[in-house]
Amino acid sequence: MDYRIEHDSMGEVRVPSDRYWGAQTQRSLENFKIGGEVMPTEIIRAFAILKKGAAMANHELLPERMTDKKLTAIVGVCDEIISGELDGHFPLVVWQTGSGTQTNMNVNEVIANRGNELLGEKLLHPNDDVNMSQSSNDTFPTAMHISAVLSIQERLIPAIDGLVEAFKKIEAENEGVIKSGRTHLQDATPIKFSQEVSGWRGMLEASRTHLRLVQVPLSALALGGTAVGTGINSPAEFGHVAAQKIAEMTHNGFISETNKFHALTSKDALVFAHGAIKDLAANLLKIANDIRWLASGPRCGLSEINIPANEPGSSIMPGKVNPTQCEAVTMSCVQVMGNDTAIGIAASQGNFQLNVFMPVIIYNFLQSVRLLSDAMVSFERNCVSGMTVNRDKMQKNLENSLMTVTALSPYIGYENTAKVAKLAYEEDITLREAASKLGFLSAEKFDEIFDFNKMI
């Protein structure tokens, strides 16, 4: 491999000649051979957005330092990063310095070296120009918030929307279908299948509302606080102007956090936001479990719904079909719940003016978004959209349920109604026969009272 010599404040370092990163990135690459989890591309894109916004703010506030020529070069490279053209130049792992300094410098070095290549001269310096008016301590939390907001908006909410629409379609197609309800995994009073599905839909819609709410605190950016929140080496208006530029670029309501000391040391907005993601995971796990219960069988389970047979379910049992999409969803949800614990613990750490667990927080946060987004899209396409209802089995289960006896309580009282259910169960007869045998209701009166449509 061909190398070139780069240098930083500690001396010279050999860097692969076909890579745009510099000495600090190379040192991190060599010193942190931990795990295989590379810094998420969402963070790199967010860094490019904030570096572009910072350069524009510096050009407005410090035009003698951020010249037109420098601005044009920085903006050009940032656009290349945002479009994914330079993805191979960001190799650092998550398990590095807790402030994310090395990733900040990775971005600074790539922008400087690529910008100088475009300019045909060595004009840009990674610290003096690309990192002007900034610190890793305010850029990394800013990138965290930008990536969190954009990933929720661009991936998670659209995935929820698709699943909500799929459930709406199932509701409409099965509006008149009545089935047995279930509580505690036991028979309960009747419910329309469309009502059951509306419960799933409502859970997703509630989670979507919560996810929209948590974007408000995430919209406050730390940029402008620099090293410890005081804004040293940064113009007084820098944070405000940079946030304005970022808001315009992303079409989002990003603002400058008024208390930069809070912005640097606390990660409460990300804890709060991930709580909404965990709430979605809890809802999805329940929905997926309901569907696989209802599809259990085909002969020895509930078998009230049929799910698509996407692949063979067993290496030994021919013809077996398993609820694999449900299993993938539930595993993803469990991982998200674990991520929530890691995020909460990490947010409680760090000392004095800085949280130093930021890479692991955003890695877990973005993984949760990706997992649930992908899982919901797969679940909708490969399971929910192909789900059909076994109406005959629903009707049979409904007619066989003892808990429809509840409709008799207003007429013969709770205790007598319980006797009817008990006799019907013990003698394996219908509720109608049991009520008549006990002398509580004539067959004609029972038929008058007992109407499934009135029970829903």
Q: Which residues are catalytic?
A: 184, 314
Identify the bridge partners of residue 16 per DSSP, sorted by sequence position: 3
d(CA 155, CA 160): 9
* Helices and strands (H and E) in the chain: how many: 18, 8
d(CA 303, CA 58): 64
Q: Kind and range of the H or E element at 270?
A: helix 268-294
Of 383, 387, 307, 369, nearest to 158 (Cα)?
A: 369
**DSSP letter at 105?**
H
8 A C-beta contact, residue 176 and residue 276:
no
Compute CA 244 distance to the chain's CA centroid, rounded to the nearest angstrom.
Answer: 26
Of 61, 91, 56, nearest to 73 (Cα)?
A: 56
Angle at 74 (CA atoms; ends 117, 242), nearest 5 degrees: 170
**DSSP letter at 185?**
T
